[in-house]
Amino acid sequence: MPAVVSIVVSENIKKIPKKILTPTARKKLKNIAANNGNIEIGGGSGFIVDKKGVVITSKHIVADPDADYTIITNDGKKHKAEIIHISSHNDIAVLKITNYKPQTTKFQAIKLGNSDKIQLGENILAFGSPLGNFPNTVSEGIVSGLHRKIKAETDLKPGKDTLKEMIQTDAAINPGNSGGPLINAKGEVIGINTVAVADAENISLAIPINSVKEILKNL
């Protein structure tokens, strides 16, 4: 749990195009915005994979290039973050906590497993912050299927990307869970929670963690 984080997406009111907000709506937003004019517009989950503050999450969470991203760690502390990698063909993003200080800051990193060794029916846990209001949430399930393929919107560009080799699970994945880790019985990450299938019960999908390993190696 100490390696699981919440990601808050915020944008300054001044950056929101005038054509999509009426003067009344803009005034209401100003009343609830922070002192710097930022307002929360979304969020999700992630997990720390390096003690220097490297965080894995889903690309669709950080799709807005004009937004600011804040990482909230398990102890409730807030950290500014920047995007250091966006996958061009998968729903994967890598963030880096920018105020990391090796003398005073220590982050708990999580161990990555081998998603090629996942077996149908094995027990798993999904971690995250569903709806942004329930941090440190754990849901339990099993691996229900392997090698699934779906089409999903992963960024702000028109059209959908094809996500392949997905892990299917019956663990509850709700809005805000995206980007959180899917964990095996050894406490290793085997997937990134990505999406729950609409109009279905207990069908959730995760990206295999081996897709991330090559990205991290290159970074």
Q: Average pLDDT, stretch 28-54?
A: 80
Which among 15-19, 70-74, 96-100, 170-174 has the top mean pLDDT?
70-74
- In the predicted model, what is the mean pLDDT of residues 132-155? 85
Q: Which of 6, 45, 178, 211 is an active site residue?
A: 178
Class level of CATH domain 115-218: mainly beta
DSSP class of residue 186?
A: T
26 secondary structure, DSSP code: H
Instruction: Please give the angle made by the CA atoms of 81, 96 and 100, to the nearest 5 degrees.
Output: 80
Q: Which residue among 10, 45, 60, 139 is the active-site one?
A: 60
State the distance between the two ends of the chain, measured CA to CA, in whole angstroms. Answer: 25
Please give the share of the chain, as a percent, with pLDDT higher than 70.
89
Residue 115 bears catalytic tag: no
| pLDDT tens for each residue of 155-189 | 767 667 788 899 999 998 887 889 999 999 999 99
CATH H superfamily, domain 4-97: Trypsin-like serine proteases (2.40.10.10)
Domains 4-97 and 115-218 share a fold: yes
Domain residue limits, the chain: 4-97, 115-218
Higher per-residue confidence, 40 vs 134 = 134
pLDDT for 26:
66
Q: What are phi and psi of 57, to 5 degrees?
A: -155, -170
The pLDDT score that the predictor gives to residue 154 is 72
Which pLDDT belongs to residue 177?
A: 86
At 88, the amino acid letter reads S
Tokens of 15: 């950056």
pLDDT at 67 over 70: yes
- Best CA proximity match to 215, nearest among 85, 113, 108, 89: 85
Task: Kindly state the average pLDDT of the residues 59-81.
Answer: 89
For the question of residue 178 being annotated catalytic, the response is: yes
Section 196-210 average pLDDT: 85
How far apart are alpha carbons 159 and 153 in whole angstroms? 7
> Which of 45, 85, 91, 211 does the annotation list as catalytic?
91
pLDDT tens digits, one per residue of 136-145: 889 999 999 9
pLDDT for residue 124:
96
| Average pLDDT score over the chain | 86
Q: Which residue has the higher pLDDT, 158 or 109?
A: 109
Residue with tokens 């942004």: 132
pTM: 0.85
